[in-house]
Amino acid sequence: MVTLQTERRRPVWEAMSDLFLDTETRWSLGHCARVCAASGYDDATLDRIFWLEVFPEAISNLRSVAGEWAGLALGDLPLTAPEDAAAGPSLQRRLHGGLVEPSWRVTSALTQWLRPLDDAQRDTCVRAWSLFAHLLFQPVPLDGPWLETRDALRPVLPYEWARYRPLALTLAQGDEDLEGAAQKLEALIARR
């Protein structure tokens, strides 16, 4: 039986499960944060949902040799953890939590920034963060639609970049040169 709590949580589960896809996910953190902010759940509840409900179901996708790229099927079963579930780190979290912990930490920070904003302001922030993430974490041509998005968001980009940059740099993987990419992005923001 589907409960109201399950229906309220489902969009949060689906957004959080995107962090477990076997593809580049760092540009979707803003979307996940937007769904979390809109859910009305506080930080502690969102953290509990992530680690006790979504993580146990979704982490196997990142441990798989051929993980899912498009989206995880969480099924119709409620993922809600019992209220008395252990809040401490499980063995599975200690072993594999590092695969998603940096992304979840950034998503949590973005969620806090979005909470006090109205829907239009949230959309603007998420569009700006998505632009930054695509240009930092995925090689894309610095012209065409990216310039159009930049031009549409120009008034908010310097402020949003100043907030987003320190978080983004914590998401570096391996030998990625995010400092170099950040400098190119700053030049793109400043260019007329």
pLDDT digits (tens, 9 = 90+) for 13-33: 999 988 888 778 888 999 999
Of 54-63, 108-117, 125-134, give the range with the top mean pLDDT: 108-117
CB 161 within 8 A of CB 167: no
Closest CA to 152 of 183, 167, 130: 130
Closest CA to 36 of 113, 116, 111, 110: 111
CB 18 within 8 A of CB 32: yes
Give the Cα separation of 16 and 33 in Å (integer): 9
Give the Cα separation of 76 and 73 in Å (integer): 9
pLDDT at 59 over 90: no
Given this model, what pLDDT does residue 181 score?
84
Given this model, what pLDDT does residue 77 score?
46
CB 45 within 8 A of CB 5: no
DSSP state of 139: -
Give the Cα separation of 87 and 134 in Å (integer): 34
> What's the one-letter identity of residue 40?
G
**42-56, 92-106, 113-127, 169-183: which range is least confident on average?**
92-106
CB 41 within 8 A of CB 49: yes
